[in-house]
Amino acid sequence: AKGADGSDGTDVGTTLTTQGDILYRDASGLARLGAGTSGQVLQTGGTGANPSWTTMSSDLVKIYSNEITSGSPSSIDINSCFSADYDIYKLFFLLSLESNNWFEVSFTDNTNITGGTYYSKAMQVTGHQTTDALNQWNQNDTDGFRIANTWYASSQQHADTCEMTIFDPFGSNRTQVWWHSNWNQENNGHMGITHGIGRCSTSASQTGIKIKGNAGDIENNTGNCGASYVAVYGFKK
């Protein structure tokens, strides 16, 4: 390469020696930045500093997702989804259930439901699509958090959606949760929406989640409800 005055400049061919090299200017002149490792991104150090490769840290990450396109599992077990990397988690799902059934969400040690009592309090609007009734309820048992009191769930065409926030489950405190859920009865026009809070009485580190119906299997593509889907995201403080 020739300089602006016509003199010989830096030989770029000897500076860039390997596929993936990047040419930049350091304090002395042209320099080579070798390739980083897979998945790294290029980061500037600002004025007067050299660029570098860095591993991007995400404050939000999808930990788990699953679409149920076949079969009717008795539960969805999400193992090892909690860790010390994230403090707040979001659980999302759209699921269909068999008749006379409702969903419960519990914590596990990747094998068994975490012992102790699951306490829930919620307010709910429920009823036929042409009427409504506001009610409140509380629940405590060892099966998990009941995300809705679906008294009208009397056929297979019954879909539930839920967004649950889980606070510091991997810590040693009693895990706190908040959720918003709704359900829709396809065949008879009943529907409901629920806002709830809960906690598990056990002071222990949680590692997994189990989602199940209290008396039946999770359905795939039931009526007009569509396939079931679950996802878990982690958030840093």
The proportion of the chain whose per-residue pLDDT surpasses 70, expressed as a percent, equals 86
Closest CA to 22 of 1, 50, 2: 50
Please, what is the average pLDDT of the chain? Answer: 84
Residue type at 40? Q
Phi, psi of 109 (to 5 degrees): -100, 30
> Exposed, middle or buried, 162 (CB in 10 Å: 0-12/13-18/19+)?
buried
Phi, psi of 146 (to 5 degrees): -85, 115
Structure confidence at residue 5 as a pLDDT band (50, 70, 90): very low
- pTM of the model as a whole: 0.74
Q: What ranges in the chain are assigned the alpha helix state H?
A: 12-15
Query: What is the arithmetic mean of pLDDT over 79-95?
Result: 93
Of 36-45, 59-68, 185-194, 209-218, the range with the lowest mean pLDDT is 185-194
